């Protein structure tokens, strides 16, 4: 079934059918409804290859995700919810979302260059943003529409949304300080990903704001995994004066923390207070129940999609949100893992 057959079936011009299928604003809502209903009824599916050649677009957006120990084992619970929000917005424009996995042993910039050179997507979401991220500079130079999930020192003016790591650090330190803790450790990301630096800076600021001393030995950089949490708390336990509480940049780390504390005869939530980052399915099975933070991931996905479409001329008028540069809010979920020190 061709677009010509569909137009003949509806007794309207091929151009009108094409504009309706592409979500153009110059086609009224009733005509657009008729076109889509008829297309579904008679089984019309556009030839994507020919469509891309004619229009110079693919009607697909890529989401680049790095496959490390966190994303391959646990990232699905984070990204799947984000994808759901993105796709809800994209469905209004008949856009497809393509997940592009960058292997952990591959240079992220080279992977991105290959994606861009093949031109099979019209825009990109990029994640795992580094403190200085050459991917951002490359996308700006090539004038590729993109949205970053995370902030960076690179690229000047570009759209991004980052989670409120500052708020997590300040809320955690304030909560622990009010409960009597004076030696509070932080376990943050050990890679060049920028969230690790943001979290560490906010941790130092939060200590000062609560009149607590900063001890560099209490700031540990580790892999964001169970083993990373295990090794980090092992280092903290070997200090002459161990902390009475720790804050984690990733809730998965708490599994390793709990395990190592049990091995040395200490009880999480009694002998050492623990605050994790995200209220995830894994964290809900920990005992004592982990104090952490809730993130509205589906709505985050929607906002990412709106921010990206606002940079693309074909969709800008329908998403007049301007340049999106936002800190995404988080909400404390009190648990049982952070009582006063023993």
- What is the secondary structure of 74-98 as a DSSP string? THHHHHHHHHHHHHHHHHTTTPEEE
Q: Above 70 in pLDDT, residue 276?
A: yes
Averaged pLDDT, 101-127: 90
Averaged pLDDT, 77-98: 92
| Region at 153 (left for phi over 0; alpha for psi -120 to 50; beta for the rest) | alpha
Name the nearest CA neighbour of 64 among 2, 15, 110, 131.
Answer: 110
pLDDT, residue 75, reads 47
- Average pLDDT of the chain to the nearest whole number: 90
Q: Which residue has the tokens 């995404």?
A: 328
- Answer yes or no: pTM beyond 0.85: no
pLDDT, residue 318, reads 92
More confident residue, 54 or 42: 42
Which domains, and CATH codes, for the chain? 3-46 (1.10.260.40), 60-162+296-328 (3.40.50.2300), 165-294 (3.40.50.2300)
Q: Above 60 in pLDDT, residue 139?
A: yes
For residue 47, name the pLDDT band (cuts at 50, 70, 90). low
Contact 144, 123 (CB under 8 A): yes
């Amino acid at each position: 079934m061709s677009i010509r057959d569909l137009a003949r079936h509806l007794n309207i011009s091929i151009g009108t059918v094409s504009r309706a299928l592409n979500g153009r604003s110059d086609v009224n809502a009733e005509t657009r409804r008729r076109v889509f209903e008829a297309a579904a009824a008679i089984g019309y599916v556009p030839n994507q290859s020919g469509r891309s050649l004619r229009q110079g677009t693919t009607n697909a957006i890529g989401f680049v995700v790095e496959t490390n120990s966190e994303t391959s084992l646990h990232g699905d619970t984070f990204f799947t919810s984000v994808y759901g929000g993105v796709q809800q917005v994209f469905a209004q424009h008949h856009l497809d979302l393509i997940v592009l996995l960058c292997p952990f042993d591959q240079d992220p910039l080279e992977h991105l260059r290959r994606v861009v050179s093949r031109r099979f997507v019209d825009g990109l979401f990029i994640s795992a943003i580094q403190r200085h991220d050459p991917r951002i500079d490359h996308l700006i130079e090539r004038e590729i529409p993109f949205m970053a999930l995370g902030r960076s020192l690179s690229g000047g003016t570009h759209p991004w949304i980052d989670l409120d790591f500052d708020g997590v650090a300040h809320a955690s330190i304030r909560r622990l300080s009010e409960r009597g803790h004076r030696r509070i450790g932080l376990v943050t990301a050990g890679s060049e990903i920028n969230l690790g630096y943001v979290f560490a800076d906010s941790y130092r600021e939060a200590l000062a704001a609560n009149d607590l001393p900063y001890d560099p030995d209490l700031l540990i950089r580790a892999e964001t995994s169970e083993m990373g949490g295990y090794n980090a708390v092992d280092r903290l336990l070997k200090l002459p004066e161990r902390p009475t509480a720790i804050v984690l940049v990733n809730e998965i780390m708490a599994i390793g923390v709990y395990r190592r504390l049990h091995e040395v005869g200490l009880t999480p939530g009694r002998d050492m207070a623990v605050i994790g980052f995200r209220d995830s399915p894994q964290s809900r099975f920990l005992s004592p129940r982990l104090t952490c933070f809730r993130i509205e991931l589906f709505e985050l996905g929607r906002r990412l999609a709106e921010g990206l479409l606002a940079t693309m001329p074909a969709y800008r008028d329908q998403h007049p949100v301007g340049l999106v540069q936002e800190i995404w809010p988080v909400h404390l979920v009190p648990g049982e893992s952070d009582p006063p020190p023993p």
